[in-house]
Amino acid sequence: MKKPLLVVLTGAGMSAESGIATFRDSGGLWDKYPVMDVASHDGFVRNPSLVHEFYNKRRRELVGARPNDGHRALVELEKLYDVEVITQNVDDLHERAGSASVLHLHGELMKIRSMKHPERIYTLTHDNLETSVETRDPHGDPVRPHIVFFQEAVPNIEPAIEIVGRADVLVIIGTSMAVYPAAGLVGFARRGIPVYYIDPNPAPVADNITVIRQTATEGLETLLNILT
């Protein structure tokens, strides 16, 4: 028998318990780095060396991180549901935890791509993490982080809308609900399906959304009890 589809939208709070620095919270990365310098199209054009080094640091942090119990709980849910994860996070912790289907809205930290041929995407290894303005791909092209910068379109938003539109259950975890277009995805869910929002400091949401005021790990334990 076909399993119901559970779609999960994850943000920075999903990975915070793995030690991945968040961006928007007090003391987060945007307090330390001007966002438009290191994560915008204009910033990359203006100072690509700074942007390469920023993402080199993020990769060095990531290889030392491990999936947390929240990531693993989503894998556990695959016993009962077809689970589709749509994440705003650029880390690979969902994949490393074993999630079968992950769609990255904002790019992937462990990947780079050709600046001349964006379809040429390359996965970095733990032994080969760092890039610079001098880095070239096998075709001799300069490369950039495979990240969706501010001022750039979000290529995966249309596939994400399609997935959310098929959901039988929608779960939102660890997001400020303030970053568009990702924050608008909940509006594409079918009317009447159960929607859960897990966050210790949740943003205001519609009355039809069940809010679980807990961390990702705690909230998913609560959700598992609800769904099973």
Decide which of 124 and 20 is more confident: 124
Q: What is the pTM assigned to this prediction?
A: 0.93
> What is the per-residue pLDDT across 173-219, written as a single tens digit (0 to 9) for each?
999 887 778 889 999 999 999 999 999 999 999 999 999 999 999 99
Alpha-carbon gap, residue 84 to 126, rounded angstroms: 26
pLDDT value of residue 30: 45
pLDDT value of residue 26: 45
Decide which of 83 and 20 is more confident: 83
> What is the per-residue pLDDT across 47-87, written as a single tens digit (0 to 9) for each?
999 999 999 999 999 999 999 999 999 999 999 999 999 99
Catalytic residue among 71, 94, 106, 146: 106
- Distances from the Cα of 106 to the Cαs of 39, 63, 95, 225, in angstroms? 11, 19, 15, 31
Helices (H), the chain: 12-16, 29-32, 35-38, 41-46, 48-63, 69-76, 93-97, 157-165, 216-227
Alpha-carbon gap, residue 175 to 197, rounded angstroms: 9
Q: For residue 137, is pLDDT > 90?
A: yes
Alpha-carbon gap, residue 186 to 137, rounded angstroms: 38
- Token couple for 194: 């159960």
Decide which of 136 and 27 is more confident: 136
Peptide bond preceding 48 in cis form (omega within 30 of 0)? no
> What is the per-residue pLDDT across 8-17, written as a single tens digit (0 to 9) for each?
999 999 999 9
Alpha-carbon gap, residue 101 to 108, rounded angstroms: 14
**Residue 175 CB: number of other CB atoms within 10 A?**
24
Give the N- to C-terminal CA distance of the chain in Å, as an integer.
17
Alpha-carbon gap, residue 73 to 4, rounded angstroms: 17
Catalytic status, residue 106: yes
